[in-house]
Amino acid sequence: MSAPHADPALEERARRIVETSIELAERGGFEAVRLRDVAAHAGVALGTLYRRFRSKEDLLVAALELETRALAQRIRQRPPKGADPSERVVGFFEIATRGMLRRPNLSRAMLRATAAGEPVLAQKVEVFHDLMRNMIVSALRGEPVDGDAAGISDDEQLVGDLLNRVWFALMMSWAGGVQSQGTIALQMRASVELVLGRSVRMTIPQTGAMGRVGMQRGKPT
Amino acid sequence: MSAPHADPALEERARRIVETSIELAERGGFEAVRLRDVAAHAGVALGTLYRRFRSKEDLLVAALELETRALAQRIRQRPPKGADPSERVVGFFEIATRGMLRRPNLSRAMLRATAAGEPVLAQKVEVFHDLMRNMIVSALRGEPVDGDAAGISDDEQLVGDLLNRVWFALMMSWAGGVQSQGTIALQMRASVELVLGRSVRMTIPQTGAMGRVGMQRGKPT
DNA sequence: ACCGGTGCTGGAACATGTTTCAAATCGGTT
DNA sequence: AACCGATTTGAAACATGTTCCAGCACCGGT
C-alpha cells in the first residue's frame, strides 16, 4: 500500500510471503495455504509472517489486491473494445471472469478470505471493490482506467457499484461450483443490459422493453 | 430438508443442534460457535454433531436456511406494502435488512459460512438464494410468496436474482463493518430504482432519465 | 428373550491457525 | 569495534475444527 515508511527489505519479504501464498493457493486452494508452509517456502519464520499479516485471510486478501492491480494493469494496456458502454462493460467482465477461472483454486481461496468479517480486513476488501468499480466505470466511459478514483459522478458510482456487486455475488456462487463459466457470462450480460439499457440484443425477446418487470401483475383491486 | 425418511428423534436432535448454534452465534459470532460447546449445550456428542453436519459452516448455513424460512413466513403474513413494485421491493429489503441487523453477530457468522466454498454447502447456499429471490419476485408482483418457485418468468428471475445479488454483496460489506444501516438502505433503494425504473423519486436529479450512464463520454475521436 | 444393526457416547488423537518468548541477528551510530 | 534498538528466528504452547474408534443403548424382527 505504499505506506509512509517503505523499508526495502521489509517490503521485499512481505511480497515474497504473498507470492508464496498465491502459489500454494493455486495448487491446492484455501486449505493448502498452510501458514507453516508459507513461512517455510518464503524463507521466514512464522512469527515474521504474523507480524506482517494478521491472519490467513489477511494474507489472501493481500493476494487479491495484488491480483486485482495486475488485472487493472492488463485492462489499462488492452481495454475492452466495444462501440457502446454495454459492450465494453460486458467485455470487461469477461476478462475479469476469465482471469478468475483461469486459476480456480486461487480465486476460490481469495474469495473465501473476503468473507472473514474482521473490520480491519473489510477495509482492504473495500479497496478491492473500489478497484473493480473504477475499472467498470472506465469501461463504461470508454476511457482508460483512472488513477484511482477521481471524478466519478454519483450515477457512475451507483451503476459501477451495482454491477460490481452483481459480479461479486456471481463469483461467490461460482466458487461453490454452482455457476458454470457459461452461466456467469450469460448472467452478467443480461444484468448489464438490464441496468444500462438494451443496447445489445437480449436472449429473452419479450414485449419491447418489457414494460418494466411485473409492473402490474396480481389483484386488479 | 424434509428428507424421505424423517425419523422423529433424529430431526429433533438436528433442530436442537442448529438452534444451539444460533444462540451461541447471536452472543459471540462465528468464533463463539465452538463445536464442543454446541454439542454440549445441545446435549449430544461431538460425533453426533458431525454425523449430521459436515462442518461448522454447514451448521451455520443450516441456521441461515432456518432463519430465511422464518423471514418468508413473516413476509407471507405481513407483506411489504406499496402501490408499485419499486416500493414493495424496497420495503421487502428493508425488512430483510432489519432482520439481519437485529442480530449482527449471528448474521455475520451465517454470511461468513456461505463463503466456505465446498460444493455440497454451495448447494444449500443456493437454496437460501432461491428463497430470497422468490420473496423478491413476490414483492415485485404484489402477490403473496409463492410455494417455492412456480411460474417465475425469465424476466422476473433475472431481476430477482440481480437484486438479490446486490443485496447479498451489500450484506457482505456490512458484515465487515464497512456499510452502515443507513447506507445499506440508500444503496438498495437506488439500485432497485435503477433496475425497475424510476417509479419513486431518486436522490440524484440529473437530466431526465439521465440518458443512460456515461453513454458517450471521452475522446470525441 | 435373543439378534443384528443403527446410531450414540466419551474420549483420544490429529492438523493447523494463532500466540508467545528467549535467544540470535541485523543495521546503523558512535 | 562495541553498542543499541528493532526485527527475526526457532520452537514450544494453545485453541479449536475434524477424525476415529471401542463400547453402549435402543429398536424392530425372530
Q: Is the pLDDT of residue A216 over 90?
A: no
Burial of A36 (0-12, 13-18, 19+ CB in 10 A): exposed
What does the radius of gyration of chain B's CA atoms come to, in whole angstroms?
Answer: 20
Residues counted in chain B? 221
- Note the pLDDT of residue A132: 98
Q: How many whole angstroms separate alpha carbon A197 and alpha carbon B15? A: 46
* CB contact B173 to A (< 8 Å): yes
Kindly state the DSSP code that residue A145 receives in the 8-state scheme: P
Burial of B55 (0-12, 13-18, 19+ CB in 10 A): middle
Is the CB atom of residue B15 positioned under 7 angstroms from any atom of strand C?
no
A23 half-sphere exposure, CB direction, 13 A CA radius? 12
Angle at which helices B56-77 and B119-141 pack, to 10 degrees?
10
- Note the pLDDT of residue B184: 97
Which secondary-structure segment (H or E) carries B220? Answer: none
User: Of B214 and B109, which is predicted with more confidence?
Assistant: B109
- Note the pLDDT of residue B145: 83
Cβ–Cβ below 8 Å for B161 and A187: yes
**B143-151 CB contacts, 8 Å cutoff, 24+ apart:** B143/A217, B143/A218, B143/A219, B144/B76, B144/B79, B145/B72, B145/B75, B145/B76, B145/B79
**Residue B98 Cα, gap to closest chain A Cα (Å):** 19
Identify the closest residue of chain A to B156 by CA–CA distance. A213
- On strand C, nucleotides with any atom < 7 Å from a protein CB are 7-12, 16-22, 27
Cβ–Cβ below 8 Å for A217 and B143: yes
Residue-wise burial string across A170-189, b where 16 or more C-beta atoms lie within 10 A, e elsewhere: bbbbbbbbbbeeeebbebbb
Cβ–Cβ below 8 Å for A117 and B176: yes
- Note the pLDDT of residue A136: 97
Percentage of chain B lying above the pLDDT 90 cut: 77
Q: What is the mean pLDDT of chain A?
A: 87
Residues 77-96 of chain B with CB under 8 A from chain A are 84-85
- Note the pLDDT of residue B144: 84
Q: How many whole angstroms separate alpha carbon B22 and alpha carbon A197? A: 43
Q: What are the start-end ranges of the H helices in chain A?
A: 8-32, 35-42, 46-52, 56-77, 85-102, 104-113, 119-141, 154-175, 181-196
Q: φ and ψ at A169, to 5 degrees? A: -65, -40
* CA angle (A128, A134, A140) in 5-degree steps: 140
Q: Is the pLDDT of residue A198 over 50?
A: yes
Q: How many whole angstroms separate alpha carbon A114 and alpha carbon A58? A: 9
Is the CB atom of residue A98 positioned under 7 angstroms from any atom of strand C?
no
Average pLDDT over residues A92-119: 97
pTM above 0.85, yes or no: yes
Burial of B112 (0-12, 13-18, 19+ CB in 10 A): buried
Identify the closest residue of chain A to B139 by CA–CA distance. A214
| Range scoring the smallest mean pLDDT among A61-70, A121-130, A176-185, B161-170 | A176-185
Closest to A162 (Cβ–Cβ): which among B176, B191, B204? B191
- On strand D, nucleotides with any atom < 7 Å from a protein CB are 7-12, 16-22
pLDDT band at A208 (very low <50, low <70, confident <90, very high): very low
Q: pLDDT tens across B173-209, in order?
A: 999 988 889 999 999 999 999 999 864 443 334 443 4
Q: Is the pLDDT of residue B2 over 90?
A: no
Centre a 10 Å sphere on the Cβ of residue B82 and count the other Cβ atoms it contains: 17
Q: Is the pLDDT of residue A34 over 70?
A: yes
Q: CA of B213 vs C1' of C23, distance in Å? A: 63
Cβ–Cβ below 8 Å for B213 and A187: no
Q: Is the pLDDT of residue A201 over 60?
A: no
Q: What is the mean pLDDT of chain B?
A: 87
Average pLDDT over residues A131-149: 87
pLDDT band at A2 (very low <50, low <70, confident <90, very high): very low
* CB contact A69 to B (< 8 Å): no
Q: CA of A35 vs C1' of C15, distance in Å? A: 12
* CB contact B130 to A (< 8 Å): no
- Note the pLDDT of residue A109: 98
Average pLDDT over residues B71-98: 96
Is the CB atom of residue B105 positioned under 7 angstroms from any atom of strand C?
no
Q: CA of B149 vs C1' of C30, distance in Å? A: 79
Q: pLDDT tens across A156-188, in order?
A: 999 999 999 999 999 999 999 888 899 999 999
- Note the pLDDT of residue B165: 98
Identify the closest residue of chain A to B109 by CA–CA distance. A117
Q: Is the pLDDT of residue A215 over 80?
A: no
Cβ–Cβ below 8 Å for B217 and A141: yes
Q: Which residues of A touch B84 (CB under 8 A)?
A: 215
Q: CA of B40 vs C1' of C8, distance in Å? A: 14
Q: Is the pLDDT of residue A36 over 90?
A: yes
Average pLDDT over residues B110-125: 96
* CB contact B157 to A (< 8 Å): no
Q: Is the pLDDT of residue A112 over 70?
A: yes
Q: Which nucleotide is nearest to B53 (CA to C1')?
A: D18
- Note the pLDDT of residue B50: 97
* Residue from A166, A179, A198 whose CB has the most chain B CBs within 10 Å, to mutate: A166
**Spatial CA neighbour of A159 closest among A88, A106, A100:** A88
